[in-house]
Structure 1
Amino acid sequence: MTTATATAPRAADVVDLAGQSALARLEAESIHIIREVVAEFDRPAMLFSGGKDSVVMLHLAAKAFWPGRIPFPVVHIDTGHNFEEVLDFRDRTVERLGLELVVGSVQELIDAGELTERADGTRNPLQTVPLLRTIAQRRFDAVFGGARRDEDRARAKERILSLRDEFGQWDPRSQRPELWNLYNGRHRPGQHVRAFPISNWTELDVWRYIAAEDIELPPLYYAHDREVFHRDGMIRAVGPHSRPTAAEPTEVLRVRYRTVGDMSCTGAVLSEAADNTAVLHEVAAATITERGATRADDRLSEAAMEDRKKDGYF
């Protein structure tokens, strides 16, 4: 991942009739949000999993405070079922930028008997408890997340600054108005705010920005050969936390990932897109969001994401 430089941002190289590119406007809005939150809150933090949206968000934070360092820690809620390539990328990025990494562990809470393994083996829904515990223990009053409105109907309801109550829960009926780029961060002790700087971006915007800024990503996002099997209409990777049954034959296919969550619930897509240009063409032609196409945890019910968000999930 590249960091900000003294030159004009490359995202603004191609301009429209108003003299500014759509990407430059999105970048400016996101940087404004990040700076506003840091100015208004005492103990902000940023979720960073190594996935593309969190990578872009961290890149924007580096630009927002360049030539200074990013003035807050990054947080990862580790399910214990993450792709090793993504964890390696996370650790390299944190070390290169000199950031503090705070890890909340699903596995530790399972080992302590505070969480119970799900029958389907999916751990993404189990992230809520360690997330809320990490926020409470570190007394974070604002937490940046890389959620986008185009991903899911529940996320489309979310404001850019979204209040969470003393139990970390979200009430979609209590959303605050956000007019003229004015964001309301008021909260009582024990409450906190989730901030979504790239809420107005689409998946295609994210990839255009990655290409324009030459941002490094984990290699899973590009076409590669992988041993896989098919389950519930999705292509699953064979791995220590994703094992086929006797009735699920494996094969080697050329695939890539549109999102890189918990290995036990994240599917791949057939692809020959080995670089940013090819991925851009592929995403532009897609008719299903990356979560709808490749995340089994979002298929648990029609309201799966909203139910998790109400409980405190991102």
Structure 2
Amino acid sequence: MSAPISTAPASTAPVSASPFAQARAVVTGQGALPTHPPTFAHPTPDREASVSTYNLTHLKQLEAESIHIIREVAAEFKNPVMLYSIGKDSSVMVQLALKAFYPAKPPFPLMHVDTTWKFREMIEFRETYAKRELGLDVITYINKEGAAEQISPFEHSGKHTNLMKTEALKKALDMYHFDAAFGGARRDEEKSRAKERVYSFRDQFHRWDPKNQRPELWNLYNARVNKGESIRVFPLSNWTELDVWQYIHLEQIPIVPLYYAAKRPTVVRDGVRIMVDDDRLKLRPGETPELKTVRFRTLGCYPLTGAVESEATTLPEIIQEMLLATTSERQGRLIDNDEEGNMEEKKREGYF
């Protein structure tokens, strides 16, 4: 015989009862689920301040994401390395790595692929800041076979880039058996980089196939590789150029002085203003270096990197410039403009 239908009220728990009392009443059969949201007691003033007023800013969210990626790589790979180009993005990446493992040093070395054509101020910064001041382990790799061919970036920029950057990087990764390499590339820089994953899979020949990449759901990354395969990791993928400069300003990160405007000797070639950094730059007939107040938005081999006229001598002035900029920072990189789709072809061959 079925039990008689109860005529008792739907809930015997008073409305003012705590959510826990209401839940207990439901479990014991003395009440029903409340139809109104639960009301919790107000937290103490100290707890309220610590919970309700602490919000991650945009930069702190990016920082947290990047630190998470760096720690994931350190935990998942046997022999990672951080590629160090000495530029602003590399400086931010080093700062994030220092924060990720503080007070210990990062559990991986930095590696600079030196083309022998970097600005002198870049090499000085590498030696004084990264090595001596921070005390980090910095590997400097030069493709000696490529250097022996004495390929001039002035005359054969594409071949120079392939020998001294792409092939040099692949040889260095093979020599040290690195299975993961951090890079400072960002998706806003260039169209081929815009479609690259945070964990960018490379085959045993270091080649990148944009159609054969792994899905990345939320903050989950697939680090499984077979012997000889590797992953290029880009912790700054979701940053913009403006984010990078604002973070440098916020954290007061040291950077190469070339990023600040100053009077420098330059010549104009093919519409690009090139800085005369040493006597290897042979002047063409009729060329005379002129002092111009310029700075660099991006740094690379000095014969292939164009300067921009600017009066920005401080970080706030650089940030103001970025807010008004309508062109890509890589417009001054001559290697990007060799042919249509050239950057993607370089990346398929193993470029950064």
Please give the TM-score of this superposition, normalised by the length of structure 1: 0.90
- Which aligned pairs between 1:84-163 and structure 2 lie closer than 5 A? 84-92=120-128, 93-106=130-143, 108-113=144-149, 116-117=151-152, 120-122=155-157, 123-126=160-163, 127-163=165-201
Structure 2 partner of 1:243? 282
Which of 311, 314, 318 is residue 279 of structure 1 equivalent to? 318
Cα distance change on mapping 1:101 and 1:244 into 2, 3 Å: same
Structure 2 partner of 1:232? 270
Which of 291, 297, 301 is residue 262 of structure 1 equivalent to? 301
Gaps of 5+ in 1: 1-16
2:211 is the counterpart of 1:173: yes
Structure 2 partner of 1:54? 90
Cα distance change on mapping 1:24 and 1:151 into 2, 3 Å: same
Deviation at 1:61, TM superposition (A): 0.2
Structure number with bigger Rg:
2
Q: Whose relative contact order is higher, 1 or 2, with alpha carbons under 8 Å and at least 6 apart?
A: 1
Deviation at 1:76, TM superposition (A): 0.6
Structure 1 partner of 2:8? none
The AA in structure 1 aligned to 2:80 is: P
2:330 is the counterpart of 1:295: no
Deviation at 1:283, TM superposition (A): 1.2
**Whole-angstrom distance in 2 between the partners of 1:112 and 1:250:** 29
The superposition leaves residues 111-142 of structure 1 with CA deviations (integer Å, 9 ceiling, x where unpaired) of 445x8556724333331111001000100000
**Whole-angstrom distance in 2 between the partners of 1:76 and 1:223:** 25
Q: Is the 8 A contact 1:273 1:279 kept in 2?
A: yes
Deviation at 1:50, TM superposition (A): 1.1
- Which aligned pairs between 1:178-257 and structure 2 lie closer than 5 A? 178-240=216-278, 241-257=280-296
Please give the TM-score of this superposition, normalised by the length of structure 2: 0.81
Number of corresponding residues: 296
Deviation at 1:157, TM superposition (A): 1.1
The AA in structure 2 aligned to 1:98 is: G
**Whole-angstrom distance in 2 between the partners of 1:303 and 1:132:** 21
| Structure 1 residue matching 2:196: 3-state secondary structure | coil
The superposition leaves residues 165-206 of structure 1 with CA deviations (integer Å, 9 ceiling, x where unpaired) of 000100010111111110111111001100000011000000
Gaps of 5+ in 2: 1-52
Q: Is the 8 A contact 1:238 1:244 kept in 2?
A: no
2:106 is the counterpart of 1:67: no
The AA in structure 2 aligned to 1:252 is: L
